[in-house]
């Protein structure tokens, strides 16, 4: 009987211990389930704009997400940012919210800071302008311009490709230092196409822009010596090569952009002794070619002195290429008013100024805040002389 009593006591003790263990485990599970919901940094692809809310803990009931400028309340974690949200430099930080059982938590997230931290993951080398011919196939391994030392998978995008050209891309997974990405096809239309390409890997992305120049032949456009009548001033632009599309012509002091190659040089330029060489230009399918032409040499006229002196009008660019400011030194115009005309290579006038009675060496400053990179022309002219210089704006 004593043994039976001891056995019953032991069984009761074991039952109490099991019950205590169950309560302890239940308390731990309850404590874990009562941890508050936490909203963390989202997952974002800076190249494609794909965005995902991230959170942890909370109870196991559904979670809703919201962010002004991204989405209203929804249980869908995945969204795509609109164009300004992805690219505007002054976009303010987003306030992300998550709601579960009426409780709301928030997280402040800056797209600019996020993408800046990933920008160094992908490197891109500048791509030089490419040339192709209508009807002839191309194979351009563009992926070699992009690289990353930390890659999971690549994503690529190309905009502005010429008609007939597309791209081939093969996803190779982790470990590929360059995306397997090739521009292929047969161009169908001549022209100059501004192509922007970008690649992303592991959250980082990089892009670059270059021109794809499509011509109708393998013989590029060129300006050759013009036809000129030294007596009448009749002048004709002459070219070689090019495609079959229209050609426009321009030369400061002769004509603005026109498709008519037949022009006249004004009387003053025909007779003055110090007329400077003209810069002739031709434009076809967006391509511009130039040629310097010396009127005096064409007519066999030697340079003569003016007013018994040896002064010659010149312009010296103080630093070339230039950026926001153009500084030039004007020489050889003392005692004469000088007109300065600054134009883009396309002929658009940027500034026209008159310098009254300049000194022996006159410095002039032009501000270039409102013009983009490219070739500029500055012409100085007096009653007896004309001088033109080319400036590269970066």
CATH number at residue 393: 2.60.40.1930
* Interval 50-107: pLDDT, tens: 899 999 888 889 999 999 999 999 999 999 999 888 888 888 999 999 999 999 999 9
Q: Does position 308 have pLDDT exceeding 50, yes or no?
A: no
Residue 344 pLDDT: 86
Residue 10 inside a domain? The answer is: no
Confidence of residue 4 (pLDDT cuts 50, 70, 90): low
The structure's pTM equals 0.36
The residue-averaged pLDDT of 137-144 equals: 91
Contact (CB, 8 A) for 364 and 379 = no
Residue 17 pLDDT: 61
Domains contained in the chain, number = 4
Lookup result for tokens 């209508």: 134
Residue 280 inside a domain? The answer is: yes
Contact (CB, 8 A) for 37 and 100 = yes
Q: Are residues 354 and 283 in the same domain?
A: no
Domain, as residue range, for 111: 38-118
Q: Are residues 392 and 338 in the same domain?
A: yes
Residue 13 pLDDT: 57
Summary mean pLDDT of the chain: 81
Q: Are residues 391 and 325 in the same domain?
A: yes
Q: Are residues 222 and 211 in the same domain?
A: no
Contact (CB, 8 A) for 369 and 393 = no
Residue 30 inside a domain? The answer is: no
Confidence of residue 174 (pLDDT cuts 50, 70, 90): low
Dihedral pair phi/psi, residue 25, rounded to 5°: -65, -40
Q: Are residues 133 and 191 in the same domain?
A: yes
Q: Does position 274 have pLDDT exceeding 50, yes or no?
A: yes
> Among 94, 118, 142, where does a domain finish?
118
Contact (CB, 8 A) for 264 and 233 = yes
Structure tokens at 131: 């040339």
DSSP tag of 145: G
Out of 77-81, 163-167, 375-379, least confident range = 375-379
């Amino acid at each position: 009987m004593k043994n039976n009593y001891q056995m019953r006591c032991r069984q009761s003790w074991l039952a109490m211990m099991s019950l205590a263990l169950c309560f302890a485990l239940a308390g731990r599970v309850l404590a874990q389930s009562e941890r508050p919901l936490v909203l963390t940094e989202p997952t974002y692809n800076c190249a494609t704009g794909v965005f995902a809310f991230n959170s942890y803990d909370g109870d196991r009931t559904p979670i809703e997400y919201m962010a002004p400028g991204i989405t209203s309340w929804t249980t869908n974690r995945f969204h795509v940012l609109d164009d300004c949200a992805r690219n505007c430099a002054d976009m303010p930080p987003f306030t992300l919210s998550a709601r579960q059982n009426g409780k709301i938590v928030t997280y402040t997230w800056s797209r600019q800071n996020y993408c800046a931290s990933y920008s160094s993951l992908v490197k891109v080398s500048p791509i030089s302008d490419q040339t192709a011919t209508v009807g002839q196939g191309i194979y351009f391994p563009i992926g070699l311009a992009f690289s990353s030392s930390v890659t999971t998978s690549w994503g690529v995008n190309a905009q502005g490709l010429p008609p007939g050209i597309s791209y081939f891309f093969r996803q190779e997974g982790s470990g590929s230092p360059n995306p397997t990405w090739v521009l292929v096809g047969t161009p169908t239309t001549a022209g100059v196409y501004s192509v922007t390409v970008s690649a992303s890997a592991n959250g980082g992305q990089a892009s670059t822009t270059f021109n794809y120049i499509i011509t109708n032949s393998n013989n590029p456009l060129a300006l050759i010596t013009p036809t000129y009548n030294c007596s009448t001033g009749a002048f004709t632009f002459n070219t070689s090569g090019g495609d079959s599309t229209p050609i426009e012509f321009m030369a400061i002091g002769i004509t603005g952009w026109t498709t008519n190659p037949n022009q006249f040089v004004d009387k003053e330029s025909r007779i003055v002794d110090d007329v400077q060489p003209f810069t002739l230009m031709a434009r076809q399918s967006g391509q511009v070619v130039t040629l310097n032409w010396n009127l005096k040499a064409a007519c066999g006229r030697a340079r003569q002195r003016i007013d018994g002196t040896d002064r010659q009008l010149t312009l010296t660019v103080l630093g070339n290429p230039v950026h926001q400011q153009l500084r030039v030194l004007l020489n050889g115009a003392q005692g004469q008013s000088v007109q300065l005309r600054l134009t883009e290579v396309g002929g658009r006038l940027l500034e026209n100024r008159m310098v009254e009675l300049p000194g022996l060496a006159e410095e002039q400053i032009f501000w270039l805040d409102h013009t983009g990179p490219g070739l500029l022309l500055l012409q100085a002219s007096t009653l007896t002389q004309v001088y033109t210089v080319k400036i590269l704006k970066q």
